[in-house]
Chains A and B, each alone.
Chain A
Amino acid sequence: MRHLLDFQGWTRGQVESLLDTARVMAEVLERPVKRVPALRGFTVATVFFEPSTRTRLSFELAARRMSADVVSFAAQASSLQKGESYKDTLLTLEAMGIDAYVIRADAAGVPHQAARWVKGVVVNGGDGRRAHPTQALLDAYTLLEALGSLEGKKIAIVGDILHSRVARSNVELLPLLGAEVWVAGPPTLLPQRLPGARLTPHLDEALAEADAVMVLRLQKERMEAGLIHLQDYIAHYQVTERRLRKAKPHALLLHPGPMNRDVELEGTLADSERSLVNRQVHNGVAVRMAVLYHLLVGREG
């Protein structure tokens, strides 16, 4: 693979190979000196056209753990509105000798556009509603760590599916590993169709016999746009202790963060032992190390 934009066209073998590398990287992170020279001499730029501290830190840490040089560029949405061109920004960075660009944007497709413009490799750090492939990879890694295999496992994704890049990437990735994916949310927040997933407006149907439940963050904008009513959402779509009884005993709980406690998820559940939320964040660094390694070094081998 040349870039990581989404999982269109990926094979199970490619995913497994990447996750194998992530396991090696996870071991590195257990060492007293958490640094290897794998990317010495390479320069990674985090180019965030949309603010996101957590994802940016995770990528920057991943690059530094492999001895890459890291620069970060944060554009204000306002300067884009003024007509500053993405292309100019990227070509300016290219002139400085960047090898890999981690790109985050509020519009779908910006990393795809970037991949046409720059010579370096592009990692999608989240683009609009389209994709957040490293989040899906770290989710898959975390699930595999807990379940051993995803073959035949039922994973439910709950919430605002329509506007969620995390949901889209998981729906592309998890079936590649043998999982059965269900997505559930209010009708105004459900797509018409997503290849790879079963769609339902009924939460209980998605939760039934699920091995793991991924809860998405509910954005305030959806309420302001009149797409949902908050109390109605809480009444029908909040993942609670009681509702989770529909799922398999000890079904696992994931959330890409940041959480709205007691909105999409009953607050106490987030801290329960079935919650993998902190594991997801922890694994994010190893997974992102594996992605950068594969793109920058792996393709030469």
Chain B
Amino acid sequence: MLLIKNVTLVDALGERGPADVLIGEGRILSLSGGEAERILDGKGLLLAPGFLDLHAHLREPGQEVKEDLASGLLAAVRGGYTDIVSMPNTTPPVDTPEAVRALRKKAQALGLARLHPAAALTQGQEGKALTEAGLLKEAGASLLTDDGRTNEDTGVLAAGLLGAAVFGLPVAVHAEDTSLRRGGVTNDGPLADLLGLPGNPPEAEAARIARDLEVLRYAVRRSQKKPHLHIQHLSTKRGLELVREAKRAGLPVTAEATPHHLTLTEEALRSFDPLFKVAPPLRTQEDVEALIEGLLEGTLDALATDHAPHTQAEKEMDLLRAPFGIPSLEVAFPLLYTELHLKRGFPLKRLVELFTDGPRNILGLKPIHLEEGAEANLVLLDPKEGPVDPRGFASKAKFSPWAGWTLGGWPVLTLVEGRVVYQALE
């Protein structure tokens, strides 16, 4: 039994408390105290449901030098995540029920965050032959995606949406038109021209989202079951507008945004540091403002990290050769708590919802609210400020664009099914 006294509760329902939260048997037993072996003083701290990340690259199998389940899932619980969706663009890709089962089994044995592997939409993520949606679902796949690849064949994407709908699986898409993107490494515009960097136009995202929404419209018309299209890492104002219009028209579409697209702009590329090289690229301040508006109004349903670890040496290449991606599991919440909530007054309730119920809804999981009887998947957060120091990351990628930033809202205790899986309490 664990008792957290005088703690403020925050979930999608709002902020309340203080409460004395008694945890045992994997559940919240009481919000008004009780007998416990261990008592923590929660005064000044926030207790929230554990976070779910829809979009993490844990690199296993095949690229364990960048990250593996052990380091990735430890990074997750240090970031307050109790549930993680791993992307299937591993080597080889996760495109069979056996591969999904193997990942889940290994993750369960680690006893850290719970893994909900995404599986590839097409065999080998090649965009040609579909994978076995039903068998993948039975094996425990949480969604289907060729993330990292962009489903060039419209007919295959349509068939994939129809097939996944039968089994209630969302199909997530990396929305970029590769022929318009060409070799772009930064936002296409005057700054890219000035810096001499090949640009990735915002229209490459919008063009692909527009197509994907038409494919969704087709799937809705053709299917007896409701398809679900999820758009990953939205980065542009125009892309957001398209999703907003589609939602108003009643299309079953959801979308996510990442911490980096909300806190950094293309200006970071003036340093020519490949640390800031991501796909889709960092955009303009106008896009950032639009995304924040999208989070507030609900056009965006979830915050997802797109945690993409690489080796230091790879990120010390030039901008053309270095890989895309930023590791962010361990800083996502403090970053957005500080930059959105503290600095811009973004409502804490909505922020927490975007880390918890928002992504859970997308996967068809029940919401977790802090009430008696709720599963004890919880995170305790400390508003006290401290610096980002990537040298201390559990992730193997020990670099960060936010290194040296001072943030509050750090997770100090993470519970999965009532077990303490991470603690940094003095």
Instruction: State the A residues within 8 Å of B (CB).
Output: 80-81, 83, 85-88, 105-110, 112-113, 127-131, 162, 165, 168, 191-195, 225
Contact = CB atoms under 8 A, between A and B. Distances in A.
Contacts of B198: 129
Interface in B324-375: none
A171 to B, nearest CB: 9
B195 A130 contact: yes
Interface stretch (B70-78, B147-155, B309-317): B309-317
B321 A81 contact: yes
Interface stretch (B80-88, B186-194, B381-389, B397-405): B186-194
Return the 3 tightest CB-CB contacts between A and B, nearest first: A109-B272, A129-B196, A191-B193
A105 B190 contact: no
Given A80-B321, A109-B318, A192 B195 contact: no
Nearest to B314: A83
12 contacts: A80-B317, A83-B314, A83-B317, A86-B318, A87-B313, A105-B318, A109-B272, A127-B196, A128-B196, A128-B197, A129-B197, A225-B182
B192 to A, nearest CB: 8
Contact of B272 (A81, A106, A112): A112
Interface of B: 182, 189-190, 193-198, 271-273, 313-314, 316-321
B170 to A, nearest CB: 36
Given A87-B316, A107-B320, A113 B190 contact: no
A192 B314 contact: no
B310 to A, nearest CB: 11
B316 A86 contact: yes
A80 to B, nearest CB: 6
Given A80-B321, A107-B321, A192-B189, A85 B197 contact: no
A192 B193 contact: yes
A127 B195 CA distance: 10
Contacts of A131: 196
Which residue, of B189, B195, B196, B314, has the highest number of chain A Cβ atoms within 10 A?
Answer: B196
A265 to B, nearest CB: 23
Given A127-B196, A128-B318, 9 more contacts: A83-B313, A87-B313, A108-B318, A109-B197, A109-B319, A110-B272, A129-B198, A191-B190, A193-B194
Is chain A's binding surface mostly helix, strand, loop or mixed? Answer: loop
A11 to B, nearest CB: 19
A108 B272 contact: yes
Nearest to B272: A109
B67 to A, nearest CB: 17
Nearest to B311: A83
B317 A86 contact: yes
B197 A108 contact: yes
B193 A193 contact: yes
Nearest to B199: A192
Nearest to B316: A87
A177 B55 CA distance: 52
Given A106-B320, A112-B272, A128-B320, A195 B197 contact: no
A87 B189 CA distance: 29
Contacts of B193: 162, 191-194
A130 B314 contact: no
A115 B197 CA distance: 19
Contacts of B190: 191-193
Which residue, of B198, B313, B318, has the highest number of chain A Cβ atoms within 10 A?
Answer: B318
A225 B190 CA distance: 22
A171 B316 CA distance: 29
B379 to A, nearest CB: 36
Contacts of A86: 316-318
Contact of B194 (A105, A128, A194): A194
Nearest to A199: B193
B351 to A, nearest CB: 35
A292 to B, nearest CB: 23
A81 B272 CA distance: 19
A113 B313 contact: no
Contacts of B320: 106-108, 128
A109 B313 contact: no
A263 B314 CA distance: 39
A150 B257 CA distance: 50
Contacts of B319: 107-109
Contacts of B272: 108-110, 112-113
A45 B318 CA distance: 20
Given A80-B317, A86-B317, A128-B320, A109 B189 contact: no
Contacts of B321: 80-81, 107
Given A192-B189, A193-B190, A107 B313 contact: no
A112 B3 CA distance: 53
B171 to A, nearest CB: 32
Contacts of A129: 196-198
B196 A195 contact: no
Contacts of A128: 196-197, 318, 320
A257 to B, nearest CB: 20
B187 to A, nearest CB: 12
B318 A107 contact: yes
Nearest to A105: B318
A107 B272 CA distance: 10
Contacts of A105: 318
Contacts of B196: 108, 127-131, 165, 168
Nearest to A80: B321
Contacts of A194: 193-194
Contacts of B182: 225
Contacts of B317: 80, 83, 85-86
A194 B194 CA distance: 6
B195 to A, nearest CB: 6
Contacts of A168: 194, 196
A165 to B, nearest CB: 6
Nearest to B182: A225
Contacts of B316: 85-87, 113
A161 B218 CA distance: 43
Which residue, of B190, B271, B314, B321, has the highest number of chain A Cβ atoms within 10 A?
Answer: B321
A112 B198 CA distance: 17
Contacts of B273: 113
B189 A108 contact: no
A110 B317 CA distance: 8
A195 B194 contact: yes
A129 B195 CA distance: 8
Which residue, of A83, A88, A108, A113, has the highest number of chain B Cβ atoms within 10 A?
Answer: A108
Contacts of A191: 190, 193-194
